[in-house]
Chains A and B, each alone.
Chain A
C-alpha cells in the first residue's frame, strides 16, 4: 500500500487509472493526456463533508453560506454532471435527535437547489453514528445500496452507522454477493465515507474491518474508491485499487499525523475558503478517471 500524488498519476494509467486536473486551470497536469472519448463518457460531481449545522467563526465564518455557494458553483458548471454524490457528514453531529432531524431537513432543502437530475447521498459518522442511522434513513434512504450508470457499477458502503466504524460481516457478505454476478474486469466504483484502509488510525482515519472489504474487492481489476471524512484531497493505493479522498465544504483538516491533534485548520482571511472545494470526476466507463478539484467560488 502506498500514498500517491499527482506526479504518480502516470503510473496509474492502465490500472484503473486516473488523471488529475485543477479547476483553476484548463490544462491537465502531467503528460496532458486525457482518457479517450467514448460513448460511455460521463461525469459526476463529488461533494463531501458539508457538516451543515457546524458553528465556529474562526474556522468558517461563512458556515451558513458555504454549502449554498457550492450548490451555485455546481449549477454554473458549463457541462451539467450526470449526477452529484455527497460522500457523508452531510450534517454536523448533535446529541439532540430533534436538532439532527432539523439539520437534515435544512440540508435537504438547500441541496434541492442543485440543477441536476440525480443526487445520491451517503452518511458520515456525524449523521448516523449516534442513532445507528435512523434519522439519516428517514431523510435520505438506505445506508448502503448500488446503482449502475453507463456501464459502471457503483456501490455505496456504510462504514459509519456503527459507532465503532465497522462495515460488519452482513454488509461485507452483501457486497460479496453483489459483486459475484460481475465479471472480474467490470468497472466498479465504491463510494464510502471513511477510508477503507488504515490511513491514520491515531486520528480515527480508518475502518476497523476495512481490510476485509478490500479483500472482497481485490479480485476485481477495475475498482476505484471515492471517499470523504479526512477533509482534504488524498490519493492512495491498496494493491491495484486507488482510493481518492475529497475536500470538505466546511473546514479543512491537517495532513495525517502532521500535528498532535486533528484540529480544523483555521480560516485564512487572506484566502477565504482555502482548502475547501468539490470534485468533478470524468469517467470513460472503462475505469479511467479524470479528477478535477474545484474551489468553491468558481464554477
Chain B
C-alpha cells in the first residue's frame, strides 16, 4: 500500500483551477483532455493518448462528488462539483485501461467507467 501511495504522490498532481478551451489539445509533449463527470458517465468515455507523453486530465463534475480511478497508472482523485480536478501522469505502457468512478454515486454507479487507450 505504501508503494501505491508513493506512486500516486509521484504520478498525480491534483490542482483545483479554472479551465477553458478545446476538449483535447496537445502542446509539445503534453496532451490535455477535458473530461466531464456526471451521473453515471464520463464524457468522453474513450480517450486515446500516446505512450511517453505527459497527459493532463481536467475533470469537472456536473452534479455530485465522483471519483476518478485509473489504477493501472496509479492515478486517482476526487472530483467535486464547482472546480476542476487536474490529474497528470505519463503513460509508460500501451494498451487499453479502464478508469472508473470509485465514489459511490447512486443507482448507475457501477456503469460509470471509461477506457484510456495508450498507443505508440
Q: Which A residues fall within an 8 A CB radius of B? A: 92-95, 125, 129-130, 160, 163-165, 198, 201-204, 208-209, 211-212, 260-263
Contact = CB atoms under 8 A, between A and B. Distances in A.
Contacts, number: 57
B104 A211 contact: no
A90 B113 CA distance: 24
B71 A201 contact: yes
B67 interface: yes
Nearest to A94: B107
Interface of B: 1, 65, 67, 69, 71-72, 78, 97-107, 109-111, 113, 115
A260 B115 contact: yes
Q: Is the interface of A mostly helix, strand, loop or mixed?
A: loop
Contact of B102 (A130, A164, A261): A164
Contacts of A92: 107
A163 B105 contact: yes
Contact of A202 (B78, B100, B104): B100
A129 B1 contact: no
Given A163-B104, A204-B102, A212-B1, 18 more contacts: A125-B109, A129-B104, A160-B104, A163-B103, A163-B105, A164-B67, A164-B104, A201-B71, A201-B102, A202-B69, A202-B72, A202-B98, A203-B98, A203-B113, A204-B69, A204-B110, A209-B1, A263-B111
Contacts of B111: 261, 263
Given A92-B107, A95-B107, A165 B98 contact: no
A74 to B, nearest CB: 27
Nearest first, the 10 A-B pairs at minimum CB distance are A211-B1, A129-B104, A202-B98, A163-B104, A201-B71, A125-B104, A93-B107, A204-B102, A163-B103, A164-B103
Contacts of A202: 69, 71-72, 97-100, 113
Nearest to A163: B104
Nearest to A96: B107
